[in-house]
């Protein structure tokens, strides 16, 4: 029944223009113009035509349409972000996954050209700065692993080993947790678990370096234990083990608020590392336990009307808060994948489906060319730094809201693939 509702929501949506300015963040995203794709389109979409045609083609699945829309916006993802970093790399990976599902070689070529633009023939990546010890810079390694496993090329192997070398030297706090970056000493951010650990898990499985699996469990457990709010079961954005940051609670070291995307990164990291864990590894049970506990806690603060989550996760009724795309879609991806693979109860697939339908209804609008745009993604939130980010409620609701931000578009595509939409 839930799947029929999703398809109905996708095929029959009401039209209204979403607002994306920071001054309008207190508004609830309106229902979108009709945005559709069909769950019955061919599993092997034709490679004839252009990305603009595919993006506007309502006979194609939503995953294909949004991947094609990305290609329309940016001839290369270097035009989105020319840095070696996580956000464009994740978007590239989502386009690659569409190529795997559809067989359309244009999607794979788009992915490969983007990644190869960074990597010299000798395996050096000039835009990668190992000594920054920045976990965000490890995430693109997942894409390099795809290319290495497909080609066996030495240049890709060298990049992978260089990233692993960073992880071996990554600074740790006194509890053993990886610093988020060299410039953020003693701090674990939930974001960082996604940025590094799925790469490490896939590397460990691919190269037989199995000692890393225990380290992965340790990192997820430390982050969970030290960001957990026992009253709600939710996880705060970050933990400063030293308690030196102004944003940190002097007793717990925790940041002041729950940020949906931070938890979304963490949850996606859990289901993605489990792909690579050996079946009999004792750490699987711990990771699955954490996944289930946080998933149940998230359901308690979900917006009942839209099926989405707010930017500041537990304060939906507070002025200025808004239904946020990236966190909501990351949760949907986690629930859909977790249910498919048996990590979560099968009912979580229905939750994922209704959340995705809510995203299509409230956060998507087609432009004049029939190409879908995704609204209401927070551009980015961090802690500390210069200018100083204090982690207050006002900080989280006043950061820029972006249309077609990769951190929303990528989980939209990945969730659509999980739901076969």
Question: Which residues are catalytically annotated?
Answer: 191
Say if residues 265 and 195 touch (Cβ distance below 8 Å).
Answer: yes
> Tell me, what DSSP letter sits at residue 33?
S
Give the residues across from 235 on adjacent strands. 228
DSSP assignment of 123-172 equals: S--TT--GGG--GGGTTTHHHHHHHHHHH--HHHHHHHHHHHHHHHH--B
Which residues contact residue 48 at a Cβ distance below 8 angstroms, ignoring those fewer than 6 apart? none
d(CA 358, CA 386): 36
Contacts of residue 304, defined as CB under 8 A and 6 or more positions apart, other chains included, come to none
Distances, alpha carbon 13 to alpha carbons 10, 305, 355, 361, 363, in Å:
6, 15, 15, 6, 11
DSSP SS3 for 226:
helix
Q: What are phi and psi of 402, to 5 degrees?
A: -120, 145
The whole-angstrom separation of Cα 260 and Cα 266 is: 10
Residue 384 φ/ψ, nearest 5 degrees? 70, -150
Q: What is the dihedral of CA 327, 328, 331, 337, to 10 degrees?
A: -120
Return d(Cα 80, Cα 289) in angstroms, integer. 37
């Amino acid at each position: 029944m839930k799947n029929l509702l999703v398809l109905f929501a996708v095929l029959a949506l009401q039209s209204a223009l979403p607002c994306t300015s920071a001054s309008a963040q207190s508004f609830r995203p309106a229902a979108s113009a009709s945005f559709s794709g069909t769950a019955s389109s061919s599993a092997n979409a034709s490679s004839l035509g252009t990305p603009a045609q595919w993006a506007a083609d309502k006979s194609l699945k939503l995953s294909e349409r949004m991947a094609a829309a990305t290609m329309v916006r940016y001839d290369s993802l270097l035009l989105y972000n020319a840095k070696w970093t996580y956000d464009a790399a994740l978007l590239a990976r989502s386009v690659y996954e569409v190529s795997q599902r559809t067989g359309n070689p244009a999607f794979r070529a788009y992915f490969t050209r983007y990644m190869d633009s960074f990597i010299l023939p000798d395996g050096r990546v000039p835009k990668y700065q190992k000594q920054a010890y920045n976990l965000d810079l490890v995430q693109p390694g997942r894409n390099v692993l795809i290319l290495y496993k497909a080609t066996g090329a030495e240049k890709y192997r060298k990049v992978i080993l260089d990233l692993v070398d960073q992880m071996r030297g990554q600074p740790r706090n006194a509890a053993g947790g990886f610093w988020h970056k060299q410039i953020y000493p003693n701090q674990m951010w939930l974001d960082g678990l996604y940025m590094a650990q799925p790469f490490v898990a896939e590397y460990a499985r691919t190269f037989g370096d199995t000692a890393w699996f225990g380290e992965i469990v340790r990192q997820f457990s430390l982050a969970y234990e030290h960001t957990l709010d026992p009253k709600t079961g939710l996880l705060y954005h970050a933990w400063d083990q030293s308690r030196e940051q102004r944003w940190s609670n002097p007793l717990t070291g925790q940041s002041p608020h729950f940020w949906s995307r931070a938890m979304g990164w963490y949850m996606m990291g859990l289901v993605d590392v489990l792909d690579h864990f050996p079946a009999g590894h004792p750490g699987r049970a711990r990771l699955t336990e954490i996944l289930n506990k946080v998933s149940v806690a998230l359901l308690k603060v979900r917006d009942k009307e839209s099926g989405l989550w707010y930017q500041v996760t537990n304060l939906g009724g507070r002025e200025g808060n808004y239904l946020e795309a990236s966190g909501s879609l990351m949760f949907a991806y986690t629930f859909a994948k977790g249910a498919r693979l048996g990590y979560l109860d099968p009912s979580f697939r229905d939750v994922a489906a209704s959340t995705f339908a809510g995203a299509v209804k409230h956060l998507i609008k087609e432009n004049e060319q029939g190409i879908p745009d995704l609204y209401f993604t927070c551009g980015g939130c961090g802690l500390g730094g210069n200018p100083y980010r204090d982690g207050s409620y006002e900080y989280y609701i006043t950061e820029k809201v972006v249309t077609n931000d990769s951190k929303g578009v990528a989980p939209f595509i990945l969730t659509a693939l999980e739901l076969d939409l």
